[in-house]
Amino acid sequence: MRFVLLGPPGAGKGTQAQALVTRFGIPQISSGDLLRAVAREDSDLGREFAGYMDRGQLVPDEFVLKLISERFRKKDARSGFILDGFPRNVSQAEALGARLDRAGLKLDKVVAVMLPDEEILERITGRRTCRNCDAMYHVVFEPPKKPGVCDKCGGELYQRDDDGEDTVRERIKVYDAMTRPLLDYYKRLGLLAEVDGKGRPDEVEKRILTVLENIAVPSQDSAGGGSAGS
């Protein structure tokens, strides 16, 4: 199964992707996580990426596409993936479509997790991320068992540099201008399903599962089998 999670910053794409990884046995491919890994490096490219991200702007397509392409080549992505944060504009969506076409593959679904602007800020400013494994928490809605410590790996939780209010407002603007048009793009392709992102993570997950219900899910046995079929 190959699908995309779309939606504004803070809509819960990352949280949902993490839950779905366990359920479907396919990896989450998060462009934000891939870019943050490079941004943490002490290199010119790392500093360049961090600059774009801290301003709330998109990292140029050529870099993002290269990272995504490399990630697709890993063995665990053969049987499917959940894309989170990619594609983020129409040209990235076209590049993704072309790449899948060449491999004789297709997307099964694009799930847009919708959330009104006023809730986005509340969610993002309370968000905490694990420095080690990128797992996400919210100080009120999804607190870790021990404050400041990741439940999954014991890593330190921090507030992302781009989760401050001014940057979040810029990210919302960039979403409206660049990413929102993808809703129409995927609607025309007959792939779009919109789900309400309000409520608890498990409630949102249920809505997503309903949308994905009709898609054939490989059994756990065949999930790691590396079939190139769609």
Examine residue 59 and tell whether it contacts ligand ADP (CB under 6 A). yes
- Told to judge if 13 belongs to the known catalytic residues of this protein, a careful annotator would answer yes
Task: Please say which residue, 18 or 92, places its beta carbon nearer to ligand ADP.
Answer: 92
Examine residue 80 and tell whether it contacts ligand ADP (CB under 6 A). no
Task: Please give the Cα distance from 145 to 48 (Å, whole number).
Answer: 35
State the number of CA atoms in the 13 A half-sphere of 123 facing the CB: 21
According to DSSP, the β-strands at 136-138 and 127-130 are antiparallel
DSSP letter string, 154-220: -PBEE--GGGSHHHHHHHHHHIIIIITHHHHHHHHTT-EEEEE--S-HHHHHHHHHHHHTTS----H
State the catalytic residue, choosing from 109, 127, 128, 207. Answer: 127
Where does this chain touch ligand ADP (CB under 6 A) — which range of 40-48, 81-89, 108-116, 184-192? 81-89
Task: Please give the Cα distance from 34 to 178 (Å, whole number).
Answer: 20
Secondary structure letter of residue 29 according to DSSP: E
Contact pick of 25, 32, 80, 197 for ligand ADP (by CB under 6 A) = 32
Two structure tokens written together for 142: 């999804």
Give the SS3 label for residue 66.
helix
Per-residue 3-state assignment (H helix, E strand, C coil) for 166-181: HHHHHHHHHHHHHHCH
Examine residue 58 and tell whether it contacts ligand ADP (CB under 6 A). yes
Examine residue 71 and tell whether it contacts ligand ADP (CB under 6 A). no
Task: Please say which residue, 18 or 31, places its beta carbon nearer to ligand ADP.
Answer: 31
- Told to judge if 187 belongs to the known catalytic residues of this protein, a careful annotator would answer no
Q: Minimum distance between the CB of residue 82 and ligand ADP, rounded to whole angstroms?
A: 13
Calculate helix-pair angle for 13-24, 201-212, nearest 10 degrees: 60
Q: Which of residues 127-186 bind ligand ADP (CB under 6 A)?
A: 162, 171
- Told to judge if 169 belongs to the known catalytic residues of this protein, a careful annotator would answer no
Q: Which of residues 194-213 bind ligand ADP (CB under 6 A)?
A: none
- Told to judge if 47 belongs to the known catalytic residues of this protein, a careful annotator would answer no
Task: Please say which residue, 25 or 56, places its beta carbon nearer to ligand ADP.
Answer: 56
Examine residue 85 and tell whether it contacts ligand ADP (CB under 6 A). yes
Residues acting as catalytic residues: 13, 88, 127, 160, 171
**Interface contacts to ligand ADP, rule CB under 6 A:** 9-10, 13, 31-32, 35, 52-53, 56-59, 64, 85-86, 88, 92, 162, 171
